[in-house]
């Protein structure tokens, strides 16, 4: 919607930003063809998870925090279990870690498949929704649904449930799936890998607006593999790197008036988490097959065009299928599903790479395991400042486009981040004001 | 050989009245016998492929239409039936996964050619979607909803364990028939 203001200014207003997880708003003000104000408004009331974790037992966060999001519950479960195990001085077995990674692959697959094909692809193919896209691209939508189902099946088998898994506990799992059960997933995962690799080349044929930013990418890093369920340190394109335990010294949360989701800064500056950051900081850890697919699709070893995040996300989708198959191939029955974790007073951090970017949890517990303090920092809230920076650049770069086209371009710029406003807190609606 | 008929309970078991789909499906499972496959799903997008290849599907979900809580309503949504009203799925695919509901799944399935010929949606009018148990009127309507599912199966010519029992007495059917293992 466009509003003409008395001073000659103009407001473009979109009541609800489409094709993102959750709802919220955006306000862009343009005066004399200059963008003067950009605000990502998140006005959903805070959800108080951190508050009501206090006083609960140290074993409860995997189940409680999983309820923050139906798309990325494993991200919360992984970060919270790691934090508690760190505090309690427990190291789980390599098999438990492998199974956690497999569960996380399931989450990446279902989340990435949903966003790439059903929420993001319509931007590039010129449709308002996947329902309209399906009329002309039924094969792509059918493939997307197959891929998503393959991810859901992994979640259901390993996590006990496709949405909000119930099989995860501090120390491991309640039950390990059997090799026979896991092997039942293989045909769909193999087909999914082939489909995802082909999809990398497909999405690379989309037309991408020319836009690059000098982002400070931030991601987990692990010496042995591409970061999913955990990493040993945090790295940034600025050259800063530090052990996970020091994250609170570098990343600070703060409140801004126009958002109910806390913003965050990295050494005092805005930063960017998510697939583009992971990819650009961990390209060397991708499998040779995924590296080759990425390069063949025209990506370099880093990518700074946010619209090309759809290609990177599809590379990660293929990687998740490949990893899931690798883990199942390595699996043997007979491993303990969990290790005991006795409470110990202390404070600790856990982090993982949610589909949308780095998430970290900090907990403080007493010697009885009662939670004294909790901090949950999800990716979308960390990305708010980068989203606003992209909107500022996009609106300025395309200021001469008509309002409808500019509004659409700005919405697409937000969708580049696959924002989960439900995680950040909840809501969005979009306004552009011109004068 | 045709794939067996399918009964699907849709909804989250943790979200108040949204649990009614799964609750009805589980009850139906005990009364229909092997000729009908009964599944539950939380994610509506899963329906598009889950029912592909079936001839007869009866789906149970919570519903809000403004009638009295607990009222059971049946609507047909198969390939020969009129598309669902646009308002029912306008947000599907636009509001993220949160806005992708049953109506969106039906219409996406219709577009993709996976929609079964016979689809009956058994809706149970609901009021409460917060965490916790079902509200009393909805819990009390489970028998009616089970009866409605069985009536739809019978109407589509699906033989069930107790299909010799007349399927017409849907309203006010007691749990007695279910306990006896018949599809009332």
Could you confirm whether domain B5-179 is CATH 2.70.70.10?
Answer: no
Chain B interface test: which of A24, A131, A380 (most B C-beta within 10 Å)? A131
Q: Is there a contact between A432 and A7 (Cβ–Cβ < 8 Å)?
A: no
Residues of B in contact with A129 (CB under 8 A): 92-94
Q: What is the pTM of this model?
A: 0.88
Quote the tokens at residue A347: 């404070």
User: Best residue in A15, A73, A129 to probe B by mutation, most B CBs within 10 Å?
Assistant: A129
**pLDDT score recorded for residue A261:** 79
Whether residues B113 and A138 touch (CB distance < 8 A) is answered with yes
Cα–Cα distance, A427 to A46 (Å, whole number): 10
Looking at the complex, report in whole angstroms how far the Cα of residue B163 sits from the nearest Cα belonging to chain A: 33
Under 8 Å between Cβ of A16 and A428:
yes
What is the maximum alpha-carbon separation in chain A?
A: 74
Query: Which residues in chain B have Cβ-Cβ distances shorter than 8 Å to A422?
Result: 98
Between chains, do A148 and B113 touch, taking CB under 8 Å as contact? Answer: no
A229: its two tokens? 């369920």
B107 touches chain A (CB under 8 A): yes
Residues of B in contact with A141 (CB under 8 A): 108, 112
A141–B108 C-beta distance less than 8 A: yes
Query: Which tokens go with B22?
Result: 């799964």
3-class DSSP assignment, residue A260: coil
Structural domains for chain A: 1-435 (1.10.645.10)
> What is the ipTM metric for this complex?
0.78
Chain B from 14 to 73: CB within 8 A of any A CB:
14, 42-43, 45-46, 48-49
Q: Closest approach of chain B CAs to the CA of A341, in angstroms?
A: 28
The partner residue sitting opposite A19, judged by closest CB among B14, B96, B104, is: B96
- CB atoms B108 and A131 under 8 Å: yes
Say how many C-beta atoms besides its own lie within 10 A of residue A32's C-beta.
9
Measuring CA to CA, how many Å separate A396 from each of A7, A32, A38, A390?
A: 20, 11, 11, 10
What residues have CB less than 8 Å from A182, skipping those under 6 apart? Answer: A157, A328, A331
pLDDT at A222: 96
* Facing residue for A21 by CB, picked from B43, B96, B113: B96
Confidence of residue B183 (pLDDT cuts 50, 70, 90): low
Tell me what percent of chain A is helix, strand and coil, each rounded to the nearest 5: 45, 20, 35
pLDDT band at residue B162 under the 50/70/90 scheme: low
The residue of chain A nearest to residue B50, with distances taken between CA atoms, is A149
Q: How far is A392 from chain B (nearest CA, A)?
A: 24
Residues of chain A in Cβ contact (below 8 Å) with chain B: 16, 18-23, 70-71, 114, 118-119, 122, 128-131, 134-135, 138, 141-142, 145-146, 148-149, 152, 162-164, 422
| Token pair 């107790």: residue | B162
Q: Domain residue spans in chain B?
A: 5-179
- Cβ-Cβ pairs closer than 8 A, A with B, add up to 64
Phi, psi (degrees; rounded to nearest 5) at A414: -70, -40
Tell me the pLDDT of chain A (435 aa) as tens digits. 455 555 656 665 555 555 666 667 788 888 888 999 888 877 555 667 888 899 999 999 999 998 887 788 999 999 999 999 999 999 999 999 999 999 999 999 999 999 999 889 999 999 988 889 999 999 999 999 999 999 999 999 999 988 889 999 999 999 999 999 999 999 999 999 999 999 999 999 999 999 999 999 999 999 999 999 999 999 999 999 999 999 999 999 888 877 777 889 999 999 999 999 999 999 999 999 999 999 999 999 999 999 999 999 999 999 999 999 999 999 999 999 999 999 999 999 999 999 999 999 999 999 999 999 999 999 988 998 999 999 999 999 999 998 888 888 888 898 899 887 655 542 334 556 676
């Amino acid at each position: 919607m466009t509003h003409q203001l008395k001073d000659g200014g103009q407001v473009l207003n979109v009541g609800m930003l489409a094709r993102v997880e959750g709802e919220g708003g955006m306000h862009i003000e343009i005066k004399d063809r200059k963008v003067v104000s950009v605000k990502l408004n998140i006005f959903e009331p805070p959800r108080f998870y951190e508050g009501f974790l206090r006083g609960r037992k140290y074993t409860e966060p995997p189940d409680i925090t999983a309820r923050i999001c139906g798309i990325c519950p494993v991200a919360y479960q992984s970060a919270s279990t790691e934090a508690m195990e760190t505090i309690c001085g427990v190291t789980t077995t390599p098999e438990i870690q492998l199974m956690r990674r497999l569960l996380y692959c399931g989450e990446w697959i279902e989340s990435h498949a949903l966003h790439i094909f059903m929420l993001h692809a319509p931007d590039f193919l010129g449709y308002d929704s996947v329902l309209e896209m399906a009329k002309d691209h039924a094969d792509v939508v059918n493939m997307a649904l197959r891929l998503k189902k393959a991810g859901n099946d992994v979640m259901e088998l390993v996590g006990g449930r496709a949405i909000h898994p119930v099989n995860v506990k501090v120390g491991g799992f309640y039950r390990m799936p059997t090799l026979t059960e896991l092997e039942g997933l293989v045909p769909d995962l193999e087909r999914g890998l082939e489909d995802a690799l082909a999809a990398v080349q497909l999405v690379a044929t989309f037309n991408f607006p020319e836009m690059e930013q000098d982002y400070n990418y931030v991601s987990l890093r692990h010496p042995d593999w591409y970061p999913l369920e955990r990493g040993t340190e945090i790295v940034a394109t600025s050259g800063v790197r530090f052990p996970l335990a020091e994250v609170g010294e570098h990343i600070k949360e703060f409140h801004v008036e126009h958002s109910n989701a806390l913003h965050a800064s990295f050494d005092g500056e805005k930063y960017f988490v998510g697939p583009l950051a992971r990819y650009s900081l961990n390209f060397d850890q991708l499998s040779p097959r995924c590296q080759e697919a990425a390069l063949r699709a025209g990506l370099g070893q880093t990518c700074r065009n946010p619209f090309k995040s759809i290609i990177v996300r599809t590379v990660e989708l293929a990687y998740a299928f490949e990893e899931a198959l690798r883990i199942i191939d390595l699996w043997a029955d007979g491993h303990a599903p969990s290790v005991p974790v006795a409470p110990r007073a202390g404070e600790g951090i856990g982090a993982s790479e949610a589909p949308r970017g780095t998430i970290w949890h900090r907990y403080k517990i007493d010697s009885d395991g009662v939670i004294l303090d909790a901090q949950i920092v999800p990716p979308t809230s960390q990305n708010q400042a980068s989203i606003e920076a992209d909107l500022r650049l996009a609106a300025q770069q395309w200021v001469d486009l008509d309002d409808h086209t500019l509004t659409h371009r700005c919405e697409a710029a937000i969708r580049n981040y696959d924002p989960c406003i439900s995680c950040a807190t909840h809501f969005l609606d979009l306004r552009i004001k011109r004068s | 050989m045709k794939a067996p008929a399918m009964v699907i309970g849709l909804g989250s078991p943790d979200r108040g009245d949204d649990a009614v789909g799964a609750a009805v499906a589980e009850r139906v499972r005990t009364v229909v016998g092997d000729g009908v496959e009964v599944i539950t799903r939380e994610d509506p997008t899963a329906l598009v492929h889950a029912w592909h290849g079936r001839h007869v599907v009866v789906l149970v979900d919570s519903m809000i239409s403004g009638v009295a809580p607990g009222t059971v309503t049946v609507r047909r949504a198969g390939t020969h039936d009129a598309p669902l009203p646009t308002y029912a799925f306008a947000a599907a695919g636009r509001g993220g996964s949160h806005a992708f509901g049953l109506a969106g799944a039906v219409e996406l399935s219709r577009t993709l050619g996976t929609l079964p010929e016979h689809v009956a949606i058994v809706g149970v009018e609901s009021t409460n979607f917060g965490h916790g148990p079902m509200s009393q009127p909805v819990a009390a309507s489970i028998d009616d909803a089970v009866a409605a599912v069985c009536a739809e199966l019978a109407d589509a010519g699906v033989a069930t364990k107790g299909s010799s029992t007349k399927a017409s007495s849907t309203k006010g059917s007691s749990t007695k028939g279910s306990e006896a293992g018949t599809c009332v």
